Structure 1
Amino acid sequence: MASPKAVPQQARARQTYERILSATAEVLVQVGPERLTTNLVCEQAGLTPPALYRYFANKYALLEALGERLTQAQRDVLVEWSSVSNLSQNPQDLLKSFEGLFHKTMQVTLRFSAGVPIMRAMRSMPELQSVVMQSHQQIAAVIAALFVQAYPQTTLQTAQFLARTAMQIGYSMMEMLFDEPQLSTEQAAAAVARMVFALAEPEIRANAVGLQSLNALSN
């Protein structure tokens, strides 16, 4: 798979680049990732194939560019939420915070142009799975580092596993809701929050016990 080339800096070239991606999103909604072709995108954008190939080698490069933009929008939500203060809330507030994070990530994905088809493409096409993997690894590293600050007795390796697993649970639940929209988003958010909290709770408790022991020793 050929990755998209660097985003052009000149105004006219940048307009063409954005026009291509906008057309790709429109075609993707109409026909889905499997039937997407560069010819259909050119027809939608009113461009010749050489104009498209100047920036994108094939349809996978088009989808990769859209996938990177979507995952960046999702990462922005997670980064904004990620803080030591959020992670160290009391259990009830932490559960509510997890629910809110899930809802906000869902909303950002649904508002993103062709967000759901892009997620489906990244899930189903091996050529695009590295986009998802890299995005999840990056944000998991941020959350893990903050988790260790909030709960110092947790190892970074354990925190990375917890963060990565929590993200997988959240994204899998979103995909289920996209495939079965009749299901309750509220119930899904609550279920994700409970599962993620269940993952983190042993470390939270262990840190609390450890802190109590340290305080007892110091007294």
Structure 2
Amino acid sequence: MPSRDIDVVPVPDLSKKQTPVQKRSIDTLETILAVTAALLGEVGIERLSTNLICARAGLTPPALYRYFPNKYAVLKELGVRLMELMNEAYLTWVRANHPVPTHHTPQQQAERLRQIQEIINATTREFPGGVWVLRALRAVPVLQQVRLESHNFVAERSFQEVRGHYPHTSEAELRLATRLTVEVMYGATEMVFDEPGIDDNLINREIAEMVVRYFGKFAEREAALLPAD
């Protein structure tokens, strides 16, 4: 059979064209972002367009294109900002709990994790259009790297925090464990907003307890390798 060329889907340009310096330009860019965040909740990702953004913002298309080449670049900027806020919230929580307590009971460990889950959920709620930005980072393929970079950053920092507690666990296994933990906790945050009929406090508590039980296998392994008294 003759070979067929595989259609290559063009990847939209996601780079911000200009970084404004003057106040008027900064205000224009911030208006674009604020309007986009508001429109996301009204029309969704698919129906969002640069023309719609311009009409709502009272801007001409050239004014928008001075900063963003397309709607995906605007969404990326919103996504980057949300992920940066999440990362900073996580780092603040880490600093407040550093070093990771070794004497805490599983219940105390779960409570600590429940707290950061609440913080991340609140960060999403407080961000303009946060729930829809969260969904865009999952649904739009070209935006997924923004989410993955944030997750890898948090997973690496988590690995550094807990590495000393599990000296007999391989680096590869522990890195995978922290990466999986970030993914499932982020998934729980998405579930809070996608399933509003389920008590978010219950979701937070359950995911925290799941993570503690998961890391319990590493703790049990370490305890079994301790020298007998």
Common fold by TM > 0.5:
yes
Larger helix percent: 1
| Deviation by residue 1:27-57 (Cα, 9 ceiling, x = unmatched) | 1121111111001111111111001011101
Verify the 8 A CA contact 1:148 1:155 in the aligned structure 2: no
Identity of aligned residues (%): 34
TM-score normalised per structure 2: 0.87
Q: How far has the Cα of 1:166 moved from its partner?
A: 0.9
Q: How far has the Cα of 1:84 moved from its partner?
A: 4.5
Give RMSD over aligned pairs: 1.7
Q: How far has the Cα of 1:8 moved from its partner?
A: 2.0
Q: Is 1:86–2:100 an aligned residue pair?
A: yes
Q: Is 1:137–2:152 an aligned residue pair?
A: yes
Q: How far has the Cα of 1:139 moved from its partner?
A: 1.0
Q: Is 1:3–2:10 an aligned residue pair?
A: no
Q: Distance in 2 between matches of 1:33 and 1:149?
A: 43
Q: Distance in 2 between matches of 1:17 and 1:91?
A: 47
> Pick from 124, 135, 141: which aligns with 1:126?
141
| Deviation by residue 1:73-122 (Cα, 9 ceiling, x = unmatched) | 11112222225433633322111111111111111111111000111111
TM-score normalised per structure 1: 0.91
Counterpart for residue 19 of structure 1: 31
Counterpart for residue 196 of structure 1: 211
| Deviation by residue 1:106-148 (Cα, 9 ceiling, x = unmatched) | 1111111100011111111111111111110111111111110
Q: Distance in 2 between matches of 1:14 and 1:86?
A: 41
Verify the 8 A CA contact 2:82 2:124 in the aligned structure 1: yes
Q: Distance in 1 between matches of 2:56 and 2:174?
A: 46
Counterpart for residue 64 of structure 1: 76
Verify the 8 A CA contact 1:4 1:62 in the aligned structure 2: no
Verify the 8 A CA contact 1:28 1:36 in the aligned structure 2: yes
Q: Which runs of 5+ in 2 are unaligned?
A: 1-11
Write the letter of the residue equivalent to 1:86: V
Q: Which runs of 5+ in 1 are unaligned?
A: none
Q: How far has the Cα of 1:173 moved from its partner?
A: 1.6
Aligned residues: 214
